[in-house]
Structure 1
């Protein structure tokens, strides 16, 4: 990544029939940078992508490579929209070849299909591919012109975990080669894994921008220790007496700002009060916590998004080895 600005927005504004979609958005994205844009449905993410690629009008300054977005060289841009429905009675190879034919120069079709993991399914009709395979074909159509900037709106929707990780590796390689990637996603795991910087859009406003680590440090909140079980409420007062801040949830106690060194003290306080539990979970904050705090969204039935023992993950995304460390003890 270098300091050359590839994508630029200054005071971008857009409304639809009186509804504000973009409200003064300003940002710069540099050559070779992966920029992740997150936010709730309706926050304006897709509108911003369309404005930056010149496929929708907006007020303000919107530039690619120093030119007005609508006047930029289209051959240098790869775009994967959130919704994309190509002809279904074409094979994967035919579809990618068709989109490659729209440019004066393009990459070898078979190479692009191999890059997205479809070498063995290149001659399968689009309509007979799985949902994840269809999405990979769509990614291939955005790559076939060998773009210098790549806009991906929810690129891994429907792709299985192995395919998703393979695509992440491909995007890493593209960024390392100098391609700028502008990514929108509801997968906080994906954004935290890929993005050099992240912007959070809420109600058309860019409310936070920074590296994932910076956003987690500033907005993620403290580490949490969760005591789960049907009768754990009895442990609230003993834990408070031991100096812990405790919130009582449904069959759980949530202790905020607990360091690993303090875990033993909490367990001892429970044992001294003869309070049983089914599980103990300690988690550090993640980008998911940042998202929930800044958007005001919550999970039903839990104080502790991101804690594997007490709640389901948002948007079908489960934690794994790339997530923040979690310590869990079962009794």
Structure 2
């Protein structure tokens, strides 16, 4: 499918998928609705007619390159920036939603550095009439053993886990997580993933933005991909992979770059053994044979041997959400004005966040 068609079909794909999204199934409450949402910073268009909906109880992934508009959309949905169009959260304007129903972890969040992790969670929990027990929240994010360390002395991953804790201490109905696992080590990422899965299982709606495609593929029920402020693809991760991810591939790493002659010899051998469907191309690391099913790996290796290709390693992989991302955005994505143009404008325009959504005044100050 070419890119213009993908953009035209993206909204309908999201709408079709939403009928079975979330734990509630057909007829489930809609937690988030965005229709025709637009936002510009001067001459830079951050959001260009966004349409999406998120069912209550589902994990919804928002992905896209730097500058695609993800952070602007999250800010619009949490009432921290104005935008044109129809924005509804639990049927209300984002600024009118009861603050205790919302949890927010911004991409950039700098709490008081001379408080301990426990004191930070206590503080943000104290902003609500009813909050979760601080110790259980710290345990959920893997910070129980370091709860008494000052925030400024924590590692980057520990800081991020503490920030996640401040966003969930109010036990929100809708949780916005903007790059929640940035800088977190593998063990910490697993703890956050388990927490997200538990929250969703208990009915919390999670709106997740991340550049970690494996994270989104694992956690999200549905995904929307932004590019240039527009939704260019949407649906369940497995559906997006089937439609846009391409074919399985066999990668052979070679000591020297593959010449055109070597590639043609391998291609001829592959055609003899496997027909015309698989394709052969040179990569930075060696040679890639795309379209090889698991049962045909031996024949593809035979074609490499017949062509005299000495390889140092072989790897076979199926397409993933990362392949979809690269296919629809380009590996070296840059919008007009350079990569990250919108995000740099957002940063200049944004008022520093103070943590979870707690009071109307705080929402307006973000």
- TM-score, structure 1 normalization: 0.87
Match of 1:256 among 290, 300, 312: 290
Give how far 1:217 is off.
0.4
Q: What does residue 290 of structure 1 align with? A: 324
Q: Which runs of 5+ in 2 are unaligned?
A: 1-22, 272-277, 334-366
CA change 1:288–1:251 in 2 (3 A) is closer
Q: Indicate if the aligned counterparts of 2:104 and 2:175 stay in contact, CA closer than 8 A.
A: yes
C-alpha distance in 1 between matches for 2:303 and 2:229: 47
Partner of residue 143, structure 2:
118
Return the alpha-carbon distance in structure 2 between the equivalents of residues 96 and 273 of structure 1: 62
**Number of paired residues?**
299
Deviation at 1:146, TM superposition (A): 1.1
- Partners of 2:89 and 2:181 in 1: how far apart? 24
Could you give the per-residue CA deviations for residues 200-225 of structure 1, whole angstroms, max 9, x where no partner exists? Answer: 01110011111110010001011112
- Within the candidate set 58, 77, 82, 1:33 is matched to 58
5+ residue gaps, structure 1: 300-331
Of residues 243, 246, 251 in structure 2, which corresponds to 1:226? 251
Partner of 1:90: 115
Match in the other structure for 1:279? 313
Alignment partners' CA distance in 2, 1:151 and 1:27: 15
Q: How does 1:101-180 map to 2 (within 5 A)?
A: 101-180=126-205
Q: CA deviation at 1:265?
A: 1.9
Displacement over 4 Å in runs of 4+: none
In 2: Cα distance, 1:77 partner to 1:235 partner: 58
TM-score (norm 2): 0.79
1:90-109 CA-to-partner distances (Å, cap 9, x unmatched) read 11111111111111221111
1:159 partner SS: coil
What is the CA–CA distance in structure 2 between the aligned matches of 1:264 and 1:78, rounded to whole Å? 51
- The DSSP-based 3-state class of the residue aligned with 2:104 is strand
Aligned residues of 1:235 and 1:270 also touching (Cα < 8 A):
no
Q: How does 1:206-217 map onto structure 2 within 5 Å? A: 206-217=231-242
Q: Distance between the aligned counterparts of 2:251 and 2:185, measured in 1?
A: 30
Q: What is the CA RMSD across the aligned residues, in angstroms?
A: 1.5
| Highest RCO, 1 vs 2 (Cα 8 Å, sep ≥ 6) | 2
